């Protein structure tokens, strides 16, 4: 249709106190349809006009751009209390226009649109939000504890399938990526240690350094990060989508607590599985260190292994495992919390997923610092 | 018959935060009555339903079942009342990680001591009532929108509830399925004395099943018409109600 001649699409005529607008030619959105505002601005229109009349004798093709133009014309005419005369428009156009008008008319005033808040108001609102967020976090902890108690006294109905699925997803399925990352971290640690300690002629302590760093810090942290991104995000999006589809409501109205049924299995699953994955992560990190020591320091494998076990003891390992179990709980907690509080829309699910990852990373780092303080106080 | 209304809603105010959706909602439903809640899209029908079944707490007002206060009852009492409800959500709300069979069986497993084989048979019967026999092993994502809705209906009916709440059961269904569903609702009422609360826009359904209808308005934010639809269309003073029931004058009163 684009081979129509691009004729002028509008004509203006003042006829006594009637303003006549003639619509002509082709009106298509992608063909530069004229805007009413510009059109009014260009021609100066006398103030004593009392009627706006529309004609469409030369009109060939039209789409919504014409409708839009007409609507603007009507608003303009109404604003100047002119009569808006569309009797000469083709039948369909007139009807369509009435319909558009009606939708606009039946609009119901909802909330008052708020103006731009001032700085003080903004700060106040944020503080309230932070406070509210805080109580949401605390509430959810309480709810999970209650749910756990219910499980202990045998009153909770838990979905074990979900527990196993969570364990599978955070365990076996996550092994390749956890393994790769831990191995590389071990390699990096060994390089750093060999360099740094080498300056003092004590590169012999490389195995000890790698082992302690892996077992106490890097193993749990790296595993935590991977699981937060994998499993925590999956929890948030699964539970969030269930919320959007009213599946959670359907559980509730059946008298089944979504906490018992959906959240608890995930928390339990992750708290069991994370330490196991951390053991694996520690092992791979140490193997990475071994490789570097072998290549760079020419240290025999037996010596490396012997040095490793001389320098870490059960408390170190246990400490790391307890810590990682807490990380597991944090990841499941953040994922489920964000999922359960998800807005009812698909963007809501996206946001819930993002904020689940961010929240769990933040909490993991905070918890890790707390553990570090405890560690140094008790000199474990 | 029992004088106490089966469901009584008294001075209910529904709000999301400080956004008021409905106020001054009061009505009663007798046992084995079918109530239709109607109104334009977005007027708060689903919201009212959610307040009636306790998914949202009323800002003010109360809901009574059999004269018992539902709104301020303890959790245990509430659970025992919820047991008697069957609810069909607007989008079906089937649990997406379970097959149809598991979905319908879930309430039965939860609340009855039936054996596996018995549950299997009941599920099959309920699914065939809604025309979904043979789809037991399908997941909700493998069904069409209308089929999901019907499956949701089967789940709502699983425990032979005393009260059924339907949020737009016929939207997305073809005329024949809609008609079957209306018949099913009437049958349930006649055979089991089920009280039914239905949210619907379908005029045909409204006129064929409703004993009582209430009309909500987004402008007034409350009930603007209440009564039998046949009478409402004739002598409700409100043009909005008449327009709605006659499709803006396009439908003549039967
Ligand atoms: N979770 C919510 N938070 C805030 N406002 C909401 C929420 N849910 C619904 N609303 C608002 O409440 C009003 C009523 O919504 P509701 O879903 O009850 O409408 P409805 O009558 O069921 O409409 P429909 O026929 O389209 O299903 C709407 O204006 C909507 O914006
Ligand atoms: Mg609705």
Confidence at A151, pLDDT banded by 50, 70, 90: confident
The pLDDT of residue A3 is 44
CA distance B87 to B106: 14
DSSP class of residue A107 equals P
CA distances from A173 to A277, A361, B105, B150, B176 (A): 10, 20, 31, 37, 48
DSSP class of residue A124 equals H
pLDDT above 60 (res A180): yes
Q: Average pLDDT, stretch A327-337?
A: 95
Q: Average pLDDT, stretch A238-266?
A: 92
Supply A334's token pair: 């953040």
Least confident of A18-32, A260-274, A366-380: A18-32
Which tens digit of pLDDT belongs to each residue from A32-83? 777 777 777 766 677 777 888 888 888 888 788 888 888 888 888 888 888 8
The pLDDT of residue B133 is 87
Q: Average pLDDT, stretch A283-308?
A: 92
Centroid of ligand 1 to alpha carbon of B51 (angstroms): 12
Q: Rounded to two decimals, what is the model's pTM?
A: 0.78
Q: Which CATH architecture has domain A2-106?
A: 2-Layer Sandwich (3.30)
Interface of A with B in 96-125 (CB under 8 A): 108, 110-111
Nearest Cα to B70, choosing from B56, B54, B46, B91?
B54
Q: Which comes out higher in pLDDT, residue A73 or A299?
A: A299
CA distances from A45 to A41, A51, A52, A55, A80 (A): 9, 12, 11, 18, 12
pLDDT above 70 (res A109): no
pLDDT above 80 (res B253): no
Contacts of B83 in chain A (CB under 8 A): 255
Contacts of B219 in chain A (CB under 8 A): 108
Which tens digit of pLDDT belongs to each residue from B156-208? 999 889 999 999 988 878 888 888 889 888 988 888 889 999 999 888 889 99
DSSP class of residue B72 equals T
User: Hey, is the C-beta of A132 within 8 angstroms of any chain B C-beta?
Assistant: no
Q: Average pLDDT, stretch A157-174?
A: 86
User: Hey, is the C-beta of B54 within 8 angstroms of any chain A C-beta?
Assistant: yes
* B95 to A111: CB separation less than 8 angstroms, yes or no: no
Q: Average pLDDT, stretch A205-226?
A: 93
Q: Which comes out higher in pLDDT, residue A222 or B75?
A: A222
The pLDDT of residue A9 is 73
The pLDDT of residue A287 is 95
pLDDT > 90 fraction of chain A, expressed in percent and rounded: 43
The rounded radius of gyration (Å) of the Cα atoms in chain A is 35
pLDDT above 80 (res A98): no
Q: How would you list the strands of the sheet with B7-16, edge to edge? A: B19-29, B7-16, B60-65, B68-69
Which tens digit of pLDDT belongs to each residue from B4-17? 889 999 999 999 98
The pLDDT of residue A7 is 53
Confidence at A182, pLDDT banded by 50, 70, 90: very high
Burial label for A222, CB within 10 Å (0-12, 13-18, 19+), is buried
Give the A:B interface size as CB pairs under 8 Å: 47
The pLDDT of residue A4 is 47
pLDDT > 70 fraction of chain A, expressed in percent and rounded: 92
Confidence at A337, pLDDT banded by 50, 70, 90: very high
> Does residue B20 line the site of ligand 1, with CB under 6 A?
no
Contacts of B53 in chain A (CB under 8 A): 253
- State phi, psi for A59 to the nearest 5 degrees: -75, 130
Tell me the CA end-to-end span of chain B in Å, nearest whole number.
Answer: 31
DSSP state string for B106-150: HHHHHH----HHHHHHHHHHHHHHTT-TT-TT--GGGS-HHHHHH
> Does residue B235 line the site of ligand 1, with CB under 6 A?
no
Centroid of ligand 1 to alpha carbon of B21 (angstroms): 8
All residues with CB under 5 Å from ion ligand 2: B 46, 90
Burial label for A279, CB within 10 Å (0-12, 13-18, 19+), is middle
Q: Where are the domains of chain A?
A: 2-106, 143-377
On average, the pLDDT of chain A sits at: 85
- State phi, psi for B220 to the nearest 5 degrees: -80, -15
CA distance A24 to A34: 12
Q: What is the ipTM of this complex?
A: 0.87
Q: Is A170 within 8 Å of A276 (Cβ atoms)? A: no
CA distance B104 to B113: 15
On average, the pLDDT of chain B sits at: 88
Q: Is A150 within 8 Å of A260 (Cβ atoms)? A: yes
């Amino acid at each position: 249709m684009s081979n129509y001649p691009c004729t002028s699409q509008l004509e203006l005529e003042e006829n006594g106190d009637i303003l006549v607008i003639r619509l002509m030619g082709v009106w298509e959105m992608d063909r530069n349809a004229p805007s009413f505002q510009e059109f009014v601005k260009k021609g100066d229109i006398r103030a004593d006009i009392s009627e706006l009349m529309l004609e469409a004798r030369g009109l060939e093709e039209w789409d919504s751009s014409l409708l839009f133009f007409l609507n603007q014309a009507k608003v303009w005419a109404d604003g100047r209390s002119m009569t808006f005369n569309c009797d000469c428009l083709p039948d369909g156009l007139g009807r369509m226009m009435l319909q558009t008008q009606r939708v606009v008319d039946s609009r119901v005033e909802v909330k008052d649109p708020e103006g731009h808040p001032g700085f003080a108001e903004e700060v106040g609102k944020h503080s309230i939000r932070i406070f509210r967020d805080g109580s949401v976090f605390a509430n959810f902890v309480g709810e999970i504890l209650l749910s756990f108690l219910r499980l202990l006294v045998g009153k909770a109905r838990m979905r074990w399938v979900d527990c196993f699925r969570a364990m599978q997803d955070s365990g076996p399925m996550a092994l390749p990526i956890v393994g790769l990352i831990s191995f590389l971290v071990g390699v990096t640690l060994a390089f750093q240690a060999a360099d740094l300690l080498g300056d003092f002629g004590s590169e012999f302590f490389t195995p000890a350094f790698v082992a302690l760093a892996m077992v106490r810090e890097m193993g749990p942290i790296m595993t935590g990060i991977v699981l937060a991104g994998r499993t925590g995000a999956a929890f948030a999006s699964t539970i969030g989508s269930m919320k959007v589809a009213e599946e959670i409501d359907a559980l509730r109205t059946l008298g089944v607590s979504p906490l018992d049924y959906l959240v608890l299995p995930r928390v339990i699953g992750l708290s069991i599985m994370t330490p196991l994955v951390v053991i694996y992560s520690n092992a791979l990190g140490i193997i990475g260190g071994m490789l570097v020591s072998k290549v760079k320091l020419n240290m025999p494998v037996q010596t490396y292994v012997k040095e490793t076990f001389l320098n870490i003891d059960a408390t170190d390992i246990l400490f790391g495992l307890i810590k990682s179990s807490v990380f597991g709980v944090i990841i499941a907690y953040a994922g489920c919390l964000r999922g359960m509080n998800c807005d009812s829309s698909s963007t809501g699910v996206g946001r819930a997923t993002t904020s689940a990852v961010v929240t769990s990373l933040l909490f993991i780092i905070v918890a890790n610092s707390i553990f570090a303080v405890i560690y140094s106080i008790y000199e474990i | 018959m029992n004088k106490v209304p089966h469901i009584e809603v008294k001075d209910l105010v529904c709000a999301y935060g400080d956004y008021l959706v409905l106020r001054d909602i009061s009505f009663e439903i007798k046992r084995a009555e079918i109530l239709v809640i109607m109104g334009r899209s977005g007027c708060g029908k689903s919201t009212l339903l959610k307040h009636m079944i306790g998914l949202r707490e009323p800002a003010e007002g109360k809901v009574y079942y059999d004269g018992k206060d539902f709104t301020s009852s303890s959790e245990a009492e509430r659970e025992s009342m919820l047991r008697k409800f069957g609810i069909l959500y607007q989008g079906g709300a089937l649990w997406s990680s379970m097959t149809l069979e598991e979905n319908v069986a879930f309430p039965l497993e939860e609340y009855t001591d039936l054996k596996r084989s018995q549950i299997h048979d009941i599920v099959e019967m309920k699914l065939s009532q809604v025309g979904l026999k043979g789809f037991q092993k399908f997941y909700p994502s493998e069904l069409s929108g209308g089929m999901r809705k019907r499956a949701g209906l089967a789940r709502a009916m699983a425990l032979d509830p005393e009260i059924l709440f339907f949020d737009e059961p016929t939207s997305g269904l073809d005329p024949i399925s809609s008609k079957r569903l209306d018949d099913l609702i009437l049958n349930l009422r006649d055979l089991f004395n089920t009280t039914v609360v239905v949210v619907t826009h379908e005029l045909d359904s409204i006129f064929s099943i409703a004993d009582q209808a209430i009309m909500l308005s987004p402008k007034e934010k409350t009930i603007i018409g209440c009564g039998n639809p046949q009478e409402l269309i004739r002598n409700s003073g409100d043009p909005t109600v008449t327009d709605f029931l006659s499709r803006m004058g396009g439908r003549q009163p039967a």
